[in-house]
C-alpha cells in the first residue's frame, strides 16, 4: 500500500511542477509584452496619438504586468498540495488568464 501512495505523490508532484513551469513561462511572455506596452510611450514620435503613446497606455501596461504577477502567484500558491485534477484545472484557468493578458498587451502595442 505504501508503494501505491508514493507513486501517487510522485505523479501529483510531477503534474504540479509541470503546471507551475508552464504558468511561469506564460507569465514571462505576457509580462514581457506588458512591460513593452508600458514603455511604448518613450518610443513614440511627436505626432503619434495611439493609446500606447499616452500616459494612460503606460498605466495600462503597468496594470497588465501587475495582473500577470498576480495570476502567476495565485496559481503557484493555489496548486500547493492539491490533487492532480484540481492542479490542472487551476493551471488551465491561469493559462487562460495569462493569454488574455498577453492579447491585451499585444493590442496595446498595436496602437503605437
Q: What pLDDT shows up at residue 66?
A: 96
Return the C-alpha cell found at 33.
509584452
Domain ranges within the chain, ordered by starting residue: 2-109
Mind listing the pLDDT tens digit of every residue in the chain (112 residues)? 555 556 668 888 899 999 999 999 999 999 999 999 889 888 887 788 888 888 898 999 999 999 999 999 999 999 998 999 999 999 999 999 999 999 999 999 988 8
Q: pLDDT, tens digit, for every residue of 87-97?
A: 999 999 999 99
Q: How far apart are CA 36 and CA 62, in angstroms?
A: 10
Amino acid at each position: 500500500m505504501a508503494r501505491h501512495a508514493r507513486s501517487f505523490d510522485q505523479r501529483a508532484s510531477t503534474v504540479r511542477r509541470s503546471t507551475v513551469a508552464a504558468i511561469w513561462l506564460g507569465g514571462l511572455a505576457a509580462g514581457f509584452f506588458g512591460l513593452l506596452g508600458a514603455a511604448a510611450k518613450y518610443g513614440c514620435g511627436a505626432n503619434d496619438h495611439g493609446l500606447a503613446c499616452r500616459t494612460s497606455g503606460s498605466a495600462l501596461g503597468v496594470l497588465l504586468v501587475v495582473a500577470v504577477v498576480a495570476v502567476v502567484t495565485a496559481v503557484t500558491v493555489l496548486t500547493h498540495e492539491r490533487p492532480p485534477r484540481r492542479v490542472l484545472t487551476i493551471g488551465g484557468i491561469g493559462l487562460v488568464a495569462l493569454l488574455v493578458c498577453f492579447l491585451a498587451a499585444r493590442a496595446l502595442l498595436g496602437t503605437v
